[in-house]
Chains A and B, each alone.
Chain A
């Protein structure tokens, strides 16, 4: 067991998956000789060669389209989208082909494909390198969407995603890459897709979140603990399928809920969480379900103060939680 950051945990998972299974290969922009723009695939080209770590042209629809075909023919492709912001040229391939193949072929074909996509902001990435894209994809039945936020979960869930017989969109928060460290077992292990994690137990108010916001929520919870406010943080980890039971159990326990996400507020993934709580947890609520999310503006700004203004921050989260507790 070693202390790794999230990026290193993913690199280790890729390495182990490729070593274990000849069918596993990586395709993406700059993933080969360069080792990826974030160095996630560092060392893999040298170890496994250019037939298993493939540098693709700058054409996301080809990266995904060819991977769908290979997956249907028995390979286990791991396609990297260099930044999640660039996934849209492949949107049609993912939505109309990968997600629907099992249904369309009456369960005779499957697409065991993993799409890795670094997403999220707070890293001065501005318009083209900061987006959260989960809401577009979580909407589509047939596609799994996961967003682990710790090195332990990232390794485990990537290995689970590679084992999964269906397409999985694997979202990696860029700010977590080097910032978040943790102990990661050396061996091959998995965390089942579809299970949430209680990042911190509490009794006064719940935060339902995922990605980098898990860490901000825990930070806010630590601030509030000094004020004698006990905050529970639920890290969803898997957005589709969703662990409703863990959410509702937390609602039942605290009766006050903040749904927190980094994407802009309107129509965001957290809106679905709020709707589920309103419908199935109504009788346990002691305050209106609150949402805290990014601003509804066209993109995340570049300048640091404005980026901060866009994003939910630990102090903004703490303020919202205080209001909820005092309701």
Chain B
């Protein structure tokens, strides 16, 4: 009996997967639960076991190709009739592929003008009746649909109620950290849509390899990182602001509690301190814990702090969900667990999802300060520099003196579309204050 094998759903919010590597070739025999292929989602590689005893008959999706969850990626032969449904079963329903769009069975082709109008007005193409060739939705169909008024429009994006008032619309902008706003482009006769759409095939200059050069194939992760970095820079106007923090208090606290934590089986690092200070900043300045959209600024209720972890051939950002609800001990435990599993690539897809802010600790490799790139669709990323003993001027009992203090640069990169310089500095100042006055 032949069985269709579908792209499994690797986590709650995952809608597609990339075939990383086929561990079996057509014709090869399969044992139940034997690793059959590797699937890559945004940041996680997972080995998928065979659901049958039998043979791999046909591969339908090539290595490196990304398909929606539920797409048939292989055909297997089941030699025992006892199929294990558990692995492949829950796949199909989540997907709404193009085939099902447009009033069922219509032509799903979108002309450039229709695609633009749909994206510009945030319409659901599936709700528009197509009258064009083979049921295609035409520009006039879209215009007719829009003319039907608000009643026919899809419900707007659900917006959480802001828990704190947003800052005044035009705060005073510090020239030091804020470049002039981008001028509106008026040169073109035809206005461009607001949203950034990456070109389907970016123009790549051809590169002539030198003699002896070696072409290293791109891993799924490398490709994902590259795509994300380019998209982030193109989406958000990045601005970085830097402050210096004295970590004497933190170091003293850590020295004092290290043994305590150890007795409870937890290694106390600096990261949870930075997470706690960041959480305090995010709560005080909610617009940093937000996402810019064309409809408005989406203020996130949850505080989910991602932390970038370097791994041998790339980078993973596991997320501390609801970081604001955890104690220093709880944070330490979670941070250590996530970091360890990130390094051994055992994170689940949900553990790298839904971050609302990111911390990157580039100081571990000696960097003093860096200007990190925002993890989209977040609005800010905090870079932590190396902790270094430096001579600093301190004032003791009214007299200036030079002291040796463990200092560290905090660099905060933010999306200038929604955060202005003064707001960013306010956030960073709170993080600094939390660290210096930790109690």
Contacts and interface: CB of A to CB of B under 8 A. Distances in A.
Interface in B62-115: 111-114
A302 B86 CA distance: 77
B114 A283 contact: no
B139 A286 contact: yes
Contact of A327 (B116, B138, B190, B193): B138
A132 interface: no
Given A284-B112, A327-B138, A245 B189 contact: yes
Given A244-B189, A245-B189, A255-B139, A284 B133 contact: no
Given A255-B139, A327-B132, A327-B133, A284 B189 contact: no
Contacts of A327: 132-133, 136, 138
Using C-beta atoms within 8 Å of the partner chain, give the interface range for chain B: 10 to 19
Contacts of B139: 255, 286
Contacts, number: 42
B112 A326 contact: no
Interface of B (DSSP majority class): loop
A58 interface: no
A285 B190 CA distance: 12
Given A255-B113, A255-B139, A327-B138, A283 B192 contact: yes
Nearest to B191: A283
Nearest to B188: A280
B373 to A, nearest CB: 28
A281 B140 CA distance: 17
**Residue with the greatest number of chain A CB neighbours at <10 A, chosen from B113, B114, B132, B193:** B113
Contacts of B193: 283
B102 to A, nearest CB: 15
A154 B216 CA distance: 66
Nearest to A254: B139
Nearest to A249: B189
Nearest to A285: B112
B44 to A, nearest CB: 36
B412 to A, nearest CB: 36
A252 B113 CA distance: 9
B190 A284 contact: yes
Interface string A182-220: 000000000000000000000010000000000000000
Nearest to A278: B112
Given A255-B139, A284-B113, A286-B111, A326 B132 contact: yes
A204 B111 CA distance: 15
Interface in B116-172: 116, 132-133, 136, 138-140
A280 B113 contact: no
B189 A287 contact: no
Contacts of B138: 286, 327
A327 B111 CA distance: 10
A245 B187 CA distance: 12
Interface residues of A, number: 17
Contacts of A245: 189
Given A326-B132, A327-B133, A287 B190 contact: no
A249 B139 CA distance: 16
Contacts of A287: 111
A91 interface: no
Interface in B179-195: 188-190, 192-193
Contacts of B133: 326-327
Contact of A283 (B132, B140, B190): B190
Interface in A279-326: 280-287, 326
Interface string A244-286: 1100110010010000000000000000000000001111111
Contacts of A282: 112
Nearest to A287: B111
Given A255-B139, A326-B132, A327-B138, A283 B116 contact: yes
A18 B112 CA distance: 52
A204 B189 CA distance: 21
Contacts of B136: 327
Contacts of A281: 190
29 contacts: A204-B140, A244-B189, A248-B189, A252-B190, A255-B111, A255-B113, A255-B139, A280-B188, A280-B189, A281-B190, A282-B112, A283-B113, A283-B116, A283-B193, A284-B116, A284-B190, A285-B112, A285-B113, A286-B111, A286-B112, A286-B113, A286-B114, A286-B138, A286-B140, A287-B111, A326-B133, A327-B132, A327-B133, A327-B138
Given A283-B112, A283-B116, 18 more contacts: A248-B190, A249-B189, A255-B113, A255-B139, A280-B189, A282-B112, A283-B190, A283-B192, A284-B112, A284-B113, A284-B190, A286-B113, A286-B114, A286-B138, A286-B139, A286-B140, A326-B133, A327-B132
| Shortest 7 CB-CB contacts between residues of A and residues of B | A286-B139, A286-B111, A286-B113, A255-B139, A255-B113, A283-B116, A285-B112
Interface of A: 204, 244-245, 248-249, 252, 255, 280-287, 326-327
